[in-house]
Amino acid sequence: MHQQPPPREAADALAEIRQRQGQVIERALIPKWFWWAIGLLVVGFSAVVETGDGRALGIGTTAFVLGNCAAVGAVALRGVRRAQPRGTLLGGAGVLMILGFTLGVLVVTTLASFSLNALDVPHSATLSGVVCAALMIGGEPFLTRRLRTTMLDRAARGAR
């Protein structure tokens, strides 16, 4: 018959489990550089569109698409290479948080774009891109923190 550990040892073991699960969950979270990269791409693309120059637009569109693919690919490969966090850890609440964040960024950016345009503010598209980038970069720590907590709690409850 096995002997159970004293309460202090059990508490330390639970802390170790949470820490280790956090190390895997960290790999599921989108890194800071990704938000900066997408933000800069959006601003750059908006600025290029606003120039109205066909050649610049062609180069800008190519750079925008390739940049997005590279950023998304790098984030996806980051998880696949070393450890694939369990999909169930995100849960419905996590999915709703991501959708809510995306929707929030879209709504505020669209409203800003229409408002700036209606007010005849110069470079309104570029400024809207800046708003979009600022929302993504500024909101990222909040989203990441909430997702990390949700996933850790689900891991602790043995989400399947």
Query: Does residue number 13 form part of the binding site for other proteins (CB under 8 A)?
Result: yes
Angle, CA 40 vertex, CA 37 and CA 41 arms, to 5°: 85
Stretch that binds other proteins, among 12-20, 36-44, 70-78, 103-111 (CB under 8 A): 12-20
Query: Does residue number 107 form part of the binding site for other proteins (CB under 8 A)?
Result: no
Query: Does residue number 76 form part of the binding site for other proteins (CB under 8 A)?
Result: no
Stretch that binds other proteins, among 14-22, 39-47, 96-104, 126-134 (CB under 8 A): 14-22
What type of residue sits at position 14?
L
Measure the CA–CA gap between 5 and 14, rounded to whole angstroms: 12
Query: Does residue number 89 form part of the binding site for other proteins (CB under 8 A)?
Result: yes
Out of 52, 54, 55, 81, the residue judged to bind other proteins by CB under 8 A? 81
Measure the CA–CA gap between 122 and 127, rounded to whole angstroms: 9
Q: How far is CA 150 from CA 7, 52, 53, 69, in A?
A: 26, 45, 46, 28
DSSP type of residue 86: -
Return residues touching other proteins (CB under 8 A).
2, 4-8, 10-17, 20-21, 23-25, 81-87, 89, 155-156, 158, 160
